[in-house]
Amino acid sequence: MQNTALKLNARPVGLPTKDIFDLVSEELPMLEEGQVLIKTHMLSIDPAMRGWMNEGRSYIRPVRIGETMRALGAGQVVATKSEILALGDWVSGTTGVQQYAILPDTDCVKLDTTKLPVEAYLGTLGMSGLTAYFGLLDTGQPKAGETVLVSGAAGAVGAVAGQIAKIKGCRVVGIAGGPEKCNYVVNSLGFDACVDYKSASFKKDLKEALPAGIDVFYDNVGGEILDLALVVINFKARIVICGAISQYNATTPWGPKNYLSLLVNRARMEGIVVFDNAPNYKSAVQEMAGWIAEGKLTTKAYVVEAPLADFNDVLLKLFKSENTGKLIMKLVE
Amino acid sequence: MQNTALKLNARPVGLPTKDIFDLVSEELPMLEEGQVLIKTHMLSIDPAMRGWMNEGRSYIRPVRIGETMRALGAGQVVATKSEILALGDWVSGTTGVQQYAILPDTDCVKLDTTKLPVEAYLGTLGMSGLTAYFGLLDTGQPKAGETVLVSGAAGAVGAVAGQIAKIKGCRVVGIAGGPEKCNYVVNSLGFDACVDYKSASFKKDLKEALPAGIDVFYDNVGGEILDLALVVINFKARIVICGAISQYNATTPWGPKNYLSLLVNRARMEGIVVFDNAPNYKSAVQEMAGWIAEGKLTTKAYVVEAPLADFNDVLLKLFKSENTGKLIMKLVE
């Protein structure tokens, strides 16, 4: 049986370009005991993908040159040598950017599509949501009444982090790009305020939206926004370094000039990677599913239908911040 | 009775210059109940002093223009309206850069000069030593067998931080300027290794001295050294931001370009200020006095004799890193 897969053929410099990928047709191997063949329906498109394309030590090994581009995805089991997964089952896993994926059943999560749409399992209840959950609660440690600032507030992780901070009784301020997104963050996600970083009055607006300073900053963006936040942090503030989408394609590295505010305020800046929390995924998903059922947490996703060959175009939407909510690529032939 | 005091008359830009201070002769007020008159013998000269001269929010209010320059000092009681301090008692406190200081007895610490030299109470058992103690133990949380890197290792704080890390069973690597200081750090302070940041092979030497990476980085220096350390930190490393002597006189702010290593390694960078630990000073001093008695902790200080008028020259020794160990100014007429 034939598979079509998107292979990484070169390492990007700056923004990835279409020509660093090759669409390759290849014969699938036979299934082994315990494996399933999955037809990929949806891919989770994440800023972290940009990092996976780089050479060098990171929290996960780089995608090798000639290897299928790594991606989390969801699809249906179309052939099975598993005793726990049956034909037609919906599953999520590290499918990669390809039409079909062969995975051990132990690496798949079975999805209940009768309760929630498939994309919810890649977004709010997937890696994005879990990243927000553990990063905010374990590392940010927000207390009721505190002020939580979230950058990338209209993005997959930021939206969930801010909503959980609201559930915990915090005053939550978002940062997003453009009036439409800011409107979404306040009116659909329920943040107390959202500041538009594209506005000419951004710096002033940000200060005004934070009259009581910042106790927790959940940062997905980095760059100037991190420096501005550092000036406003409170005594014993916690800065969660979840990502730095403003920097992933930068060819000149940038550093937070105001980092000595950590000293002045005895504050902390700490990096997180969701994978460390794997033993607690299940209980987190249960708690978040409860919040979804209560209407406190949205599963809205930004689904783009495209063929495999257009993967890079869809990925670039992240860096152009065209998406509102979780960016999902729905594969079409 | 006449006093001579050094007043700040302008805010410095870059390195402080002599002309921003005025030596003023003034009449001392009468002592009030509970106060003592102290003849200042020694001043603790600290990098933090540079920050106190700046305008703007910090962990302590700036020295005002026209005000006596702030300093911790030690001296003898030469007049007393206190029931707890007698004539001739040795005390330490915030004397300021002046010949005589009037302080409430409750703001003074009585010193036992029969056991240790006066300078030990301004260095190892003073703010420098306490900063090292709480910063390393509470924030750095070193475990036996871990690797601890200390910048400014020959300085007042670094020397104590490294020695305590040795006491706790860590492998301790210092960074200092020049072969003489490095020799002192290894042979007198007992660090396992010390790397010379002035050497042409510094980057290579630093990597080689850290074959097992860095678990705790106690940073007094900032700048390029912090960026180099960020590249070598281990999973869940703790970076203690105690100071940034390389930056205090910088007119262009600098930021750690490699801060995303915090994310990759789920590491933490946290600022400390010793004053937050005031309730625990006493038990810390007791524990450190025990280590001094056991010969595990040195009280060596770098004492410079100079008249009040030369305060700025003595302060600049810090930023030229001329001192080995705690810099103390011993006042002479």
B242 contact residues in A (CB cutoff 8 A): 263
Rounded Cα distance, A170 and B70, in Å: 40
User: Given this model, what pLDDT does residue A115 score?
Assistant: 87
Tokens of A180: 């439409």
B259 contact residues in A (CB cutoff 8 A): 241, 255-256, 259, 269
Tell which residue, A125, A266, A149, has the closest CA to residue A205: A149
A263 contact residues in B (CB cutoff 8 A): 59, 241-244, 271-273
* 3-class DSSP state of B196: strand
Q: Is the pLDDT of residue B93 over 80?
A: yes
User: Given this model, what pLDDT does residue B245 score?
Assistant: 87
- Asked if A235 is an interface residue toward chain B (Cβ–Cβ < 8 A), one would say no
pLDDT digits (tens, 9 = 90+) for B240-264: 999 998 888 888 889 999 999 999 9
User: Given this model, what pLDDT does residue B251 score?
Assistant: 82
User: Given this model, what pLDDT does residue A58 score?
Assistant: 79
On whether the CB atoms of residues B123 and B129 are closer than 8 A, the answer is yes
- What mean pLDDT comes out for the span B218-238? 96
Residue A185 makes CB contacts below 8 A (sequence gap 6+) with: A153, A154, A159, A162, A174, A176, A191, A194
On whether the CB atoms of residues B188 and B300 are closer than 8 A, the answer is yes
User: Given this model, what pLDDT does residue A259 score?
Assistant: 96
Q: Is the pLDDT of residue A250 over 90?
A: no
User: Given this model, what pLDDT does residue B115 score?
Assistant: 87
Q: What is the 3-state secondary structure (H, E, C) of A3-59?
A: EEEEEECCCCCCCCCHHHEEEEEEECCCCCCCEEEEEEEEEECCCHHHHHCCCCCCC
Distance from CA of B277 to the nearest CA of A (A): 12
User: Given this model, what pLDDT does residue A39 score?
Assistant: 98
pLDDT digits (tens, 9 = 90+) for B174-190: 999 999 999 999 999 99
- The DSSP-derived string for B24-42 is EEEEPPPPPTTEEEEEEEE
The dihedral built from the CA positions of residue A50, A52, A53 and A54, taken in this order, carries a sign that is positive
A54 contact residues in B (CB cutoff 8 A): none
Say if strands A90-93 and A109-110 run parallel, antiparallel, or are unpaired: antiparallel
Q: 10 Å Cβ neighbour count for B109?
A: 15
* 3-class DSSP state of B93: strand
User: Quick one: pLDDT band at residue B171, thresholds 50, 70, 90?
Assistant: very high
B260 contact residues in A (CB cutoff 8 A): 222, 241, 244, 247, 271
- Asked if B244 is an interface residue toward chain A (Cβ–Cβ < 8 A), one would say yes
User: Within chain B, how many helices (H) and strands (E) appear?
Assistant: 10, 15
**Phi and psi at residue A293, to the nearest 5°:** -60, -35
A276 contact residues in B (CB cutoff 8 A): 266
User: Given this model, what pLDDT does residue B59 score?
Assistant: 82
- For A230, the closest chain B residue by CA position comes to B255
In the numeric block, the tokens 């963006």 are attached to A221
Q: Please give the DSSP secondary-structure letter assigned to residue B308.
A: G
* 3-class DSSP state of A266: coil
β-bridge partners, A195 = A175
User: Given this model, what pLDDT does residue B332 score?
Assistant: 96
Q: 10 Å Cβ neighbour count for A278?
A: 9
Q: Chain B 248-277, CB below 8 Å of chain A: which residues?
A: 253-273, 276
Mean pLDDT of chain B: 95
Residue B72 backbone class (left: φ over 0; alpha: ψ -120 to 50; beta: rest): beta
Q: What is the 3-state secondary structure (H, E, C) of B151-194?
A: ECCCCHHHHHHHHHHHHCCCEEEEEECCHHHHHHHHHCCCCCEE
Cβ within 8 Å, pair A255-B260: no
A269 contact residues in B (CB cutoff 8 A): 259, 262, 268-270
The dihedral built from the CA positions of residue A96, A98, A102 and A105, taken in this order, carries a sign that is positive
User: Given this model, what pLDDT does residue B203 score?
Assistant: 97
In the numeric block, the tokens 């410095």 are attached to B12
Angle between helices A156-167 and A281-293 (to 10 degrees): 70
User: What are the angstrom distances between the C-alpha of B331 and each of A101, B163, B303?
Assistant: 78, 29, 10
- Asked if B222 is an interface residue toward chain A (Cβ–Cβ < 8 A), one would say yes
In the numeric block, the tokens 């949806």 are attached to A42
- Asked if B198 is an interface residue toward chain A (Cβ–Cβ < 8 A), one would say no
* 3-class DSSP state of B60: coil
Mean pLDDT of chain A: 96
- What mean pLDDT comes out for the span A131-148? 98
Rounded Cα distance, A52 and A44, in Å: 14
User: Quick one: pLDDT band at residue A3, thresholds 50, 70, 90?
Assistant: very high
On whether the CB atoms of residues A121 and A301 are closer than 8 A, the answer is no
* Facing A262 at nearest CB: one of B57, B258, B269: B269
Cβ within 8 Å, pair A269-B270: yes
Test mutation, A54, A238, A258, A270, chain B, max B CBs within 10 A: A270
Cβ within 8 Å, pair A256-B256: yes
Distance from CA of B108 to the nearest CA of A (A): 25
pLDDT digits (tens, 9 = 90+) for A84-132: 999 999 999 999 999 999 999 999 999 999 989 999 999 999 999 999 9
User: What are the angstrom distances between the C-alpha of A232 and each of A113, A225, A267, B99?
Assistant: 43, 11, 11, 39
- What mean pLDDT comes out for the span B272-283? 93
User: Quick one: pLDDT band at residue A248, thresholds 50, 70, 90?
Assistant: confident
On whether the CB atoms of residues B241 and A266 are closer than 8 A, the answer is no
Say if strands B21-27 and B90-93 run parallel, antiparallel, or are unpaired: unpaired
pTM equals 0.91
* Comparison of pLDDT for B56 and B50, the residue scoring more: B50
Tokens of A60: 């996960």
